[in-house]
Amino acid sequence: MPIRNAVSWSAMIAANAQHGYGREAMRLFKLMDLEGEFPHQQTIGSLIDACSADPSMAEARIIHSVIHDNGFKLDVILSSALINMYGKYGSLDLAREVFETMEQRNIISWNTMVAVYAESGHGDEALYIFSRLHLDGMVPDDATISSALAACCHSGLLEDARCFFHLSHEYGLHLTLENYACVIFLLGKAGRLADAEELIRTMPFEPREATWMTLLSACKTQRDVDLGTRVGQAILDRDPDNAGPYVLLSNVYT
């Protein structure tokens, strides 16, 4: 192009960011700066996405500085993207700092903060943010419940997971197979194998092999030979060539 402006630079940066080429997006941003083009708010959003896909803490701080030095407004979208970016690096303090300084929050920003703590294994903090979400008058959505259940799963919080499970029905939310898997895993870990089996058989999805394998693994841990035999046979009926159930069943019998 004989002439490039902020729009064309931003389009090229966004294209690279969307396809996972984070380093190339950052390289283009630096060239854009050398040509004296001032970035748009959308450019900054693309750069944050680029850093989330291809993490580099130094570049993340550069972007945050650009936002601050150029007076960009940290709206809900940019703030949520920053929280997610810092969460990917495990910089939970910085993610929380951005969250706490937001003037306005919507359900996306709350969900992002819950998810950041859940994915980092900080279940208690994730549930604390969830409790504040309620106090702030927000109504949880499918993503909120999924993140909360993931947090419970990481931290072994069965009773909290059951509360969220029932809460989802109150709000008419749609639970996924992965949501059920979280509760099944926690029930098995707590030794409540009969409840886990009943949940598998009554959930509104065709159970996957991985779901049954979760229960079979719990049978090994809890030394329940009878249920282990039943579950192992259920898996082998579906896939008799799968070696996994044979190994687990052998461990159960041992």
- Residue by residue, pLDDT tens for the chain (254 residues) are 988 998 999 999 989 888 888 888 888 988 998 888 888 878 888 888 777 766 566 777 778 788 877 777 778 888 888 898 888 888 899 899 999 999 889 999 999 999 999 888 888 899 999 989 988 888 899 999 999 998 898 888 899 998 888 888 888 888 899 999 999 999 999 999 999 999 998 999 888 888 899 999 999 989 999 999 988 888 888 888 888 888 888 888 88
Distance of CA 173 to the CA centre of its chain: 17
In angstroms, rounded to a whole number, what is the distance separating the alpha carbons of residues 77 and 49? Answer: 11
Note if the pTM is more than 0.85: no
For the record, the structure tokens of 72 come out as 């960009």
Q: Which residues have CB under 8 Å from 43's CB, separation 6+?
A: 6, 9, 10, 13, 14, 29, 32
Q: Look over the chain and give the mean of its residue pLDDT values, rounded to a whole number.
A: 87
pLDDT digits (tens, 9 = 90+) for 103-156: 889 999 999 999 999 888 888 899 999 989 988 888 899 999 999 998 898 888
pLDDT of 56: 64
Residue burial 119-139, b: 16+ Cβ < 10 Å; e: rest = bbebbebbbebbeebeeeebe
82 close to 71: Cβ distance less than 8 angstroms: no
pLDDT of 166: 86
Percent of the chain with pLDDT over 70: 98
